[in-house]
Amino acid sequence: MVGKVPVGGGAPISVQSMTTTKTADVEGTLQQIYALAAAGCDIVRCTCNEIEAAEGLAQIVPRSPIPIIADIHHQYKMALAAMEAGVHGLRLNPGNIRKPEHIKAVASEARDRNIPIRIGVNGGSLDPSLYEKYGGLTAAAMVESALQEIAYFQEVDFNLIKISVKASNVPLMVEAYRMLADATDIPLHLGVTEAGPPPAGLVKATAGISTLLLEGIGDTIRYSLTADPVEEARAGRQLLEALGLRERKNVDLIACPSCGRAEIDVIDVANRAMKAFEDKKLPLQIAVMGCVVNGPGEAREADLGIAAGNKRGHLFVKGRNVAVIPENEMVEALVEWAEFINEHGTDAAIERADTKLAEREAARDRAQLMDEKGDDANHSAEKIVEIRKTAGN
């Protein structure tokens, strides 16, 4: 348990992030923590690199809406100070705190206070002796670092442990976690360290984290992005929802990639819709489709959607046409119908609509679009004749 959040043992996979404020700035740090919690963060880490930071934690912890983990590097006494401040967990880097007596002192105090510790092995700060032993940074070197730290903890009968073996190289990170999962059943914290700014950072982190989650490896995750940490929390939550590993809390917006049939600027409408739904806690799937030819059919499983036709939008609920909306009111209509569905359900939404009129108008726009593009734009009948000649030869 990290505060009230369970980790491992079949518990839901949790999302973590880290504040970027100075921990001594109590109000600024709390503002960021509340923003992270609103974005789906379950556990937040704050640096504790000086006495002022530890003093700040004493004020932050009781006011935080989610558990606080103190991030410790080099100075083991900061770990002791953070526990005195009341934190719910610690993160120690074996590459930075190397003296066994210091590690055991922290573990003993954590054991007595029932505070969990994450062993945070990082490819960028591995013990030099392990670099030398393995001839550089390898998955085996990171795993040995973690197991060595576990041994120190076991000497003082401490077992409230999580482990991470992060690297900025995705294949290396995946290999290390696979090896670690084979070596221990201790809960694992997943992440691609120093993934960089979006969009490349999002791609790298998702590649590593999702690969392992789909293999059943991992109990808690963090996107390490060069960006506002709220983006990290939001990405983590969206990934878990997309993989079906956490219950959906926010809108899942699906949209077609657009094509020559599109009657609107799909990208603009989809982006505006994302912005409109960003802070709304509506666990619905909503579709934005560029035309009425395939749109409703392709997104028929969506709770709500809109497809463009003849410079207007055809709103559909579970594949049923329910309304015709002017182009400039599409996003507002999606929000209004989504809120209604969230409160009353899709059946009630269909019942309140004039579905016959909506379906008739959608059919008319579909027919008009097909006429404009041509029933046989590819001259398929002629091509079939030629295909048969070719195949016959």
| Chain segment 352-374, per-residue pLDDT in tens | 877 777 677 667 666 665 665 55
* Residue range 106-110: mean pLDDT, rounded: 95
Q: How confident is the model at residue 115 (pLDDT cuts 50, 70, 90)?
A: very high
Residue 62, pLDDT score: 97
Residues 233 and 284 in one domain: no
Residues 170 and 312 in one domain: no
* Residue range 37-50: mean pLDDT, rounded: 95
Q: How confident is the model at residue 139 (pLDDT cuts 50, 70, 90)?
A: very high
Q: How confident is the model at residue 95 (pLDDT cuts 50, 70, 90)?
A: confident
**Tokens at residue 234, please?**
């939001």
Residues 228 and 274 in one domain: no
- Percentage of the residues of the chain whose pLDDT score is greater than 70: 90
* Residue range 244-268: mean pLDDT, rounded: 80
Side chain identity at 330, as an amino acid letter? M
Residue where one domain finishes, among candidates 190, 220, 242: 242
| pLDDT above 80 (res 264) | no
The count of C-alpha atoms lying within 13 angstroms of the C-alpha of 316, restricted to the half-sphere facing its C-beta, is 29
Domain that holds residue 335: 252-373
Residues 58 and 105 in one domain: yes
* Residue range 256-275: mean pLDDT, rounded: 79
How many other CB atoms are there within 10 angstroms of residue 270's CB atom?
23
* Residue range 109-128: mean pLDDT, rounded: 91
| pLDDT above 70 (res 262) | no
Number of residues written out for the chain: 393
* Residue range 263-269: mean pLDDT, rounded: 78
Higher pLDDT, 390 or 183: 183
Q: Closest Cα partner for 66 from 116, 112, 32, 28?
A: 32
Is 383 among the domain residues?
A: no
> pTM for the complete prediction?
0.83
Residue 301, domain CATH? 3.30.413.10
Residue 60, pLDDT score: 98
| Cα(37)–Cα(17) distance, integer angstroms | 10
* Residue range 170-182: mean pLDDT, rounded: 97
* Residue range 78-101: mean pLDDT, rounded: 91
Residue-wise pLDDT for 302-343, tens only, equals 899 888 766 778 888 988 888 888 888 889 999 999 999 999
What is the four-CA torsion angle of 73, 75, 77, 79, rounded to 10 degrees? 0
Overall domain count for the chain:
2
Residue where one domain finishes, among candidates 223, 242, 261: 242
Q: Give the three-class secondary structure for 329.
A: helix
Side chain identity at 154, as an amino acid letter? Q
| pLDDT above 60 (res 379) | no
Q: Closest Cα partner for 164 from 244, 94, 99?
A: 94
Say if CB 178 and CB 217 are below 8 A apart.
yes
Residue 293, pLDDT score: 63
| pLDDT above 70 (res 242) | yes
Residues 226 and 266 in one domain: no
Residue where one domain finishes, among candidates 216, 242, 268: 242
| pLDDT above 90 (res 127) | no
Is 379 among the domain residues?
A: no
Residues 99 and 229 in one domain: yes
Is 336 among the domain residues?
A: yes
How many other CB atoms are there within 10 angstroms of residue 378's CB atom?
8
| Cα(369)–Cα(291) distance, integer angstroms | 9
Is 388 among the domain residues?
A: no
| pLDDT above 90 (res 250) | no
